[in-house]
Structure 1
Amino acid sequence: MKETSLDIKDLQLNALLEVTQAVNNNLPEDDLLKIYKFTLLADLKINKLALYTQREANWICRVNFGTKNNLIGSPLPEEYMELKNQMGLVETSFDEFDAVFPVYHKNKLLAVVFIESDSELGVQNRFLNALTNIILVAIENKRLARQQMEQEAYRRELEIAKKVQNFLFPKELPKIERLQIEAFYLPHHDVGGDYYDYIQIDENKFLACIADVSGKGVPAALLMSNFQASLRALVRQTKNLKEIIEELNLTTYVSGNAENFITFFAGIYDFKTKELEYINCGHNEIILKHGDTIELLNDGTTVLGMFDPLPFIETKKLSSLDEFFLFTYTDGLTETFNEKDEAFEFDRLLEILKGECPKDLSEFHNQILEALNTFKGSRSFHDDITMLSCRIQNK
């Protein structure tokens, strides 16, 4: 009896050394579980075993041997969920097993283990607990290290995307007597998919635009950066707004694999002719205010990047515009929700725009933000919010 007990101790010691060496060699998770399985099979008197661990929200079998049916991937039986609040060996009615015990590390449940053994269960329980703990703590540490590395990689990616996005927006906007442009941008995440721009074409013409890419975060920001680069290159080559849009659509179609799309509004104003040529590519209703008249600029085409070629396309020219106010925005503004799950919507925005043309554009943007904050109450913004206002005094 004494000799048998010593033999078991030697086997257990060898098993611990093998597992510890495997952990120190930083083997992959699946290899650690295989070593755990074969160590128990070869060195210990365990006939049947099923090891359940948590993967995301589910508890499934990761190691299994000796049973009639293969339990790998099967969920932990519901009646044993309560074991997560217990410690120590518990008798089980689970077919083919003598006992079940939970394995903890620092009050965190790592595993639920079912066994059948020829040895004294109390001794096996203590050793199995220790062995399982070593393996699963190592796996948990590897998971945390991998998660930390992924988070660090994502953080670096985010920093790069943020720098790229900062280059999208013009560093300075004109604020002279005949032309005032003001912009506001509030990303929902660290980086977003909204974009606005002002491009001086020549001494008489400029282009102002706003866009919103489907999707959020880094992919949206990178797609938009490609869009901005294409736009600026095209404006240097041609002043034909229709040609610019056709090329932008093709670029977006290729870059986004016809899976992502961009809503876009662009207007070119000519101080000499007092004409505004614009196109609306599936974007929100853009507001033009001149005198007491409010005009909605909706003509154009569908969103960019979904079809090649575009199913239809037209630009529109508005003449005799010497003094006017142009307000552009993305749908994060009108789709801000309140505590009753009601959207801010276009009508509330239009109400703010009644009356005289805003003289201080920054103050006007603040007025809209105050209205949004009052409307949403405790709700948070769920999308990027961008506004671009343009005031022309060309008399």
Structure 2
Amino acid sequence: ENAIVFRQYKDSNFELQRRVQELQTLFELSKEFNLLIDEARAIRTLEFAVMGQTGARKYAICLVHDSKGRIVVNRIPGLEESDLHPLCSSESPMRLADLANEMPIAAKLLEKGAELVVPFQLQSKVDGLLILGERVSRAKYTDSEISFISSLCNLAAMAIDNARLFEESLAKQRLEEELSLAHTIQEKLLPRVMPGFAGCVVGTFHIPTKQVGGDYFDVIKLSEDKICVAIADVSGKGFPAALLMANLQSAFRALMATELRLDQITERLNNIVYDNTESDRFITFFAAIYNSSEKHLIYINAGHNYPYLMKAGGSVRRLDQGGLMLGVLPNVKYQTGLERIESGDFLYMFTDGVNEALNPDGEQFTEERIDELLRLNAGLEADEILETIRKEVASFVGDAPQSDDITQLCVKFQ
């Protein structure tokens, strides 16, 4: 009887020492995992720990995303990712031999040398699978060992998740730095200080919805009595739109330095955009040349929001002569429009970020509101007109996020 008691005491003491050793191992590994900020190193640390703690001849590590597995370590010949997809939602360890009659995939994995599948779990979500085969000792995995292995996998899951978050943070930081640089470059491409022009005053206002945007405007002094104003809206937002905008500006300025007419310039711009962009990319474009000596305005509208020519006498002209948006079809012909200009007239140009600005109820600002504001504030200077509309749009939008780039130009004729 004493021998039995002694044996039980010895077994209990051995089990206690084993548990203490496991806790000590988990504690040391947790310190190691907490220092890791690289997914590959976290996986490698788990691999070494698994080899040392289980003595498995065959094993594999699979990371799970959207209920699909991606094998990152594979020491089981013939194991494929498709074999593991049915197990990616399993939340409990699985002895494959116990499930072979119920699950065909368990029998298939057994044939390939796997014995145990242990899920990684983080916040009740399966982040990965550890697949273990026969051990060097040929001993079966006990419940306590499976519990230890599960704890080990969960430590690895936290380390891998932290590594992912760190990488995402770095990627976000790099993107923000690139966008900041792109924003700086784009701001330098757009005119900031208006030179003096004979017979008119030009005001501009521009806010991209992101750090960089697809709205373009330009003011070019052609001679002492001629200026060109242009505005455009590239489809899409963000970096791709900003890049296309920069290309448009470069091409437009180069063509304006030639002797080509405005309609010919627009035709060439259209072909450049068509030949160098995808089919889902296009640009709405408006350009006008004002001759202060002859008091006339030649313009062309390629699918852009119709600018307002507010006459000193109170009438309103919408400038709609031109043609199709840039980049939709090749070899499009465009028609210019001509307007006589009198002292007190002004030209207002805008992108759809103004009239389509949304309030919290999803309602648009509309061109009707723009029309009314232009009539009520016709006596103001160019910059004052733009500021008045900006304030009205901001008041209308309230706390709703800006949904598109906002650009305005105003030319007040003297």
TM interval, shorter chain, is 0.7 to 0.9
SS of the counterpart of 2:245? helix
The match for 1:125 among 131, 143, 147 is 147
- Output the CA distance in 2 between the equivalents of 1:314 and 1:177: 27
Q: 1:29, CA displacement in angstroms? A: 8.3
Structure 1 residues 343 and 91, CA gap change in structure 2 (3 angstroms)? farther
Q: 1:386, CA displacement in angstroms? A: 0.7
Indicate yes or no: 2:252 matched with 1:244: no
| Structure 2 partner of 1:170 | 191
Q: 1:181, CA displacement in angstroms? A: 0.7
Structure 1 residues 356 and 346, CA gap change in structure 2 (3 angstroms)? closer
| Structure 2 partner of 1:60 | 68
Q: 1:155, CA displacement in angstroms? A: 2.4
The match for 1:43 among 55, 63, 66 is 55
- Output the CA distance in 1 between the equivalents of 2:329 and 2:45: 50
The match for 1:200 among 199, 221, 246 is 221
SS of the counterpart of 1:201? strand
Q: 1:114, CA displacement in angstroms? A: 8.3
| Structure 1 partner of 2:353 | 332
- Output the CA distance in 1 between the equivalents of 2:291 and 2:187: 28
Whether the aligned pair in 1 keeps the contact of 2:194 and 2:202 (CA below 8 Å) is yes
Q: CA RMSD in A?
A: 4.4
| Structure 2 partner of 1:292 | 314
The match for 1:382 among 403, 408, 412 is 403
Instruction: Select the structure of larger CA radius of gyration.
Output: 2
- 1:3-22 to 2 correspondences below 5 Å: none
- Output the CA distance in 1 between the equivalents of 2:278 and 2:42: 36
- 1:91-170 to 2 correspondences below 5 Å: 95=102, 103=120, 111=127, 118-130=140-152, 132-133=153-154, 135-170=156-191
Of all paired residues, the percent bearing the same amino acid is 28
TM-score normalised by structure 1 residue count: 0.77
The match for 1:373 among 373, 383, 394 is 394
- Output the CA distance in 1 between the equivalents of 2:87 and 2:95: 19
Structure 1 residues 42 and 339, CA gap change in structure 2 (3 angstroms)? closer
Q: 1:391, CA displacement in angstroms? A: 0.3
Structure 1 residues 115 and 252, CA gap change in structure 2 (3 angstroms)? closer
Indicate yes or no: 2:85 matched with 1:73: yes
Whether the aligned pair in 2 keeps the contact of 1:289 and 1:324 (CA below 8 Å) is yes
Indicate yes or no: 2:357 matched with 1:345: no
SS of the counterpart of 2:223? coil
Bigger drift between 240-249 and 139-148 goes to 139-148
The match for 2:250 among 229, 248, 251 is 229
Give CA-to-partner distance per residue, 1:352-383, whole Å, 9 cap, x none: 12246232222222221222233223322211
- Output the CA distance in 2 between the equivalents of 1:125 and 1:49: 18
Whether the aligned pair in 1 keeps the contact of 2:374 and 2:385 (CA below 8 Å) is no
Letter in 2 for 1:376: V
- 1:344-363 to 2 correspondences below 5 Å: 344-355=365-376, 357-363=378-384
Structure 1 residues 273 and 70, CA gap change in structure 2 (3 angstroms)? closer
| Structure 1 partner of 2:3 | none
Indicate yes or no: 2:327 matched with 1:305: yes
Bigger drift between 119-128 and 211-220 goes to 119-128
Indicate yes or no: 2:275 matched with 1:263: no
| Structure 1 partner of 2:297 | 276
Letter in 1 for 2:160: I
Q: 1:313, CA displacement in angstroms? A: 1.2
- Output the CA distance in 2 between the equivalents of 1:100 and 1:180: 75
Q: 1:174, CA displacement in angstroms? A: 4.2
Give CA-to-partner distance per residue, 1:308-339, whole Å, 9 cap, x none: 112x3111111354441000000011111223
- Output the CA distance in 2 between the equivalents of 1:339 and 1:356: 26
SS of the counterpart of 1:383? coil
Structure 1, unmatched stretches of 5+, are 84-88
Structure 1 residues 121 and 231, CA gap change in structure 2 (3 angstroms)? same
Structure 1 residues 73 and 175, CA gap change in structure 2 (3 angstroms)? farther
Structure 1 residues 101 and 158, CA gap change in structure 2 (3 angstroms)? same
| Structure 2 partner of 1:86 | none
Letter in 1 for 2:262: L
Bigger drift between 177-186 and 379-388 goes to 177-186
Q: 1:172, CA displacement in angstroms? A: 1.4
Q: 1:45, CA displacement in angstroms? A: 8.7
Q: 1:144, CA displacement in angstroms? A: 3.3
